[in-house]
């Protein structure tokens, strides 16, 4: 395939190369707009698993049609090489933003608002992303966040994984159950990954770091969650407790839905504790913070007696 033209699209520049795709900036003569084109590398053309993953992404995103998910405009092949045409995200990625420093609580919450809604839409259709990370969170020219890269998403119980029995994902952001190869993952695995991203947005680094990916994965399973207040003491205990719940080792101990996760975050932020716990860390204050967090949880629970986690269809 010529990198001067892909289908009807005229290539302007290469935007980046990832593990399973090269992304180009291009112009669409039919609609007189710029787009992003993701191309499957030639090295993977004869790998049925990678090809299926690539094609599945286009189909999955097309079924979602959500305002916070990068939309797919077109899908095709040229010289046997498949490509996906998407909206061009000119604001860069969250990964790039974090290179300039950590974010404020309000900035992180605004990102969570949009991504939580996107995940809720995906999970409601039985779609689990499975590779949430800053590189897959993109921004438009107005700084609105979008979810992208559904290449390893799982659609249904009938297709447990697109890469056989191998563990796939990004170690720094994987849930304990994903690391352990659980074939019955649900949306709570994505919620855990969002918790890792939240910790990174506020602290500037991921909570679990080591010398090898294998060691990082073991830390997700065995190590307690680092205290975010140690690096951001101005946060409330209610926010810290919210994060601890998201990063629980057991899925049953996390929030059931992305919508619940976002609602309780805003309740924790707006709580009186947000101001009173800026510098206090004594035992009495911490206990007060835990009591308040439980109050926040109770106030945002639905009226039903039991919340059943949503599983993929």
Domains of the chain: 10-87 (3.30.200.20), 94-300 (1.10.510.10)
**Residues tagged active-site:** 131
Which residues contact residue 49 at a Cβ distance below 8 angstroms, ignoring those fewer than 6 apart?
A: 162, 163, 164
Assign 167 a pLDDT band (cuts: 50, 70, 90).
low
pLDDT value at position 202? 98
- Percent of the chain whose predicted confidence (pLDDT) is above 70: 80
Nearest to residue 29, comparing CAs of 62, 53, 6? 6
pLDDT value at position 43? 76
Q: Is the pLDDT of residue 76 over 70?
A: yes
Q: Report in angstroms the alpha-carbon separations of 74 from 58, 77, 198, 256.
A: 8, 10, 32, 34
Q: Are 34 and 26 in contact (CB under 8 A)?
A: yes
- Percent of the chain whose predicted confidence (pLDDT) is above 90: 59
Which H or E element spans position 33?
strand 33-39
Rounded Cα distance between 16 and 52, Å, is: 22
Q: Is the pLDDT of residue 307 over 50?
A: no
- The residue to which tokens 């926010």 are assigned: 239
Rounded Cα distance between 158 and 151, Å, is: 17
Q: Report in angstroms the alpha-carbon separations of 296 from 4, 120, 263, 264.
A: 55, 21, 10, 7
Nearest to residue 120, comparing CAs of 290, 296, 301, 261? 261
Cβ-count burial 19-58 (b if 16+ within 10 Å, e if not): ebbbbbbbebeeeeeebbbbbbbeebeeeeebeebbbbbb
- pLDDT averaged over the chain? 83
Q: Within a 10 A sphere around the Cβ of 162, how many other Cβ atoms? A: 21
Q: Is the pLDDT of residue 222 over 80?
A: yes
Q: Within a 10 A sphere around the Cβ of 236, how many other Cβ atoms? A: 24
pLDDT value at position 62? 82
At 218, phi and psi to the nearest 5?
A: -65, -35
Q: What is the mean pLDDT of residues 105-124?
A: 96
pLDDT in tens, 89-113: 999 999 999 999 999 999 999 999 9
Assign 153 a pLDDT band (cuts: 50, 70, 90).
low
pLDDT value at position 217? 96
Q: What is the pTM of this model?
A: 0.81
Rounded Cα distance between 176 and 56, Å, is: 25
Rounded Cα distance between 53 and 151, Å, is: 5
Q: What is the mean pLDDT of residues 225-245?
A: 95
First-to-last CA distance in the chain?
Answer: 38
Q: What is the mean pLDDT of residues 227-236?
A: 94
Q: What is the mean pLDDT of residues 30-58?
A: 84
Assign 271 a pLDDT band (cuts: 50, 70, 90).
confident
Q: What is the mean pLDDT of residues 63-73?
A: 91
Nearest to residue 56, comparing CAs of 156, 123, 185, 124? 156
pLDDT value at position 249? 98
Which H or E element spans position 249?
none
Q: Is the pLDDT of residue 284 over 50?
A: no
Q: What is the mean pLDDT of residues 133-156?
A: 84
Q: Is the pLDDT of residue 36 over 90?
A: yes
pLDDT in tens, 175-206: 999 999 988 899 999 999 999 999 999 999 99
């Amino acid at each position: 395939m010529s990198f001067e033209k892909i289908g009807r699209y005229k290539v302007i520049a290469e935007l980046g190369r990832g593990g399973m795709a090269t992304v180009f900036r291009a112009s669409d003569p039919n609609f007189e707009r710029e787009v992003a084109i993701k191309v499957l590398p030639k090295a993977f053309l004869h790998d049925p698993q990678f090809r299926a993953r690539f094609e599945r992404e286009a189909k999955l995103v097309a079924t979602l049609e959500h305002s916070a998910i990068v939309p797919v405009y077109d899908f095709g092949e040229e010289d046997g090489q498949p490509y996906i045409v998407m909206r061009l995200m000119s604001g860069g990625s969250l990964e790039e933003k974090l290179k300039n420093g950590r974010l404020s609580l309000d900035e992180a919450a605004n990102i969570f608002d949009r991504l939580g809604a996107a995940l809720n839409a995906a999970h409601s259709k039985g779609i689990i992303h499975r590779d949430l990370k800053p590189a897959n969170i993109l921004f438009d020219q107005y700084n609105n966040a979008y979810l992208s890269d559904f290449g390893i998403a799982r659609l249904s119980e009938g297709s447990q994984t697109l890469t056989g029995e191998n563990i796939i994902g990004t170690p720094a952001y994987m849930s304990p159950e994903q690391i352990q190869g659980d074939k019955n993952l649900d949306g709570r695995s994505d919620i855990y990954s969002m918790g890792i991203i939240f910790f990174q947005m506020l602290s500037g680094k991921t909570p679990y770091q080591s010398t090898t990916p294998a060691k990082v994965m073991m830390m997700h399973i065995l190590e307690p969650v680092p205290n975010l207040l140690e690096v951001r003491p101005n946060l409330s205990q209610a926010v810290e407790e919210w994060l601890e719940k998201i990063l629980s080792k057991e899925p049953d101990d996390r929030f059931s839905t992305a919508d619940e996760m976002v609602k309780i975050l805003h309740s924790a932020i707006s709580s009186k504790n947000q101001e009173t716990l800026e510098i206090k860390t004594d035992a009495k204050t911490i206990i007060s913070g835990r009591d308040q967090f439980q109050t926040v949880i109770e106030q945002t629970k639905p009226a039903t007696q039991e919340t059943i986690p949503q599983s993929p269809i």
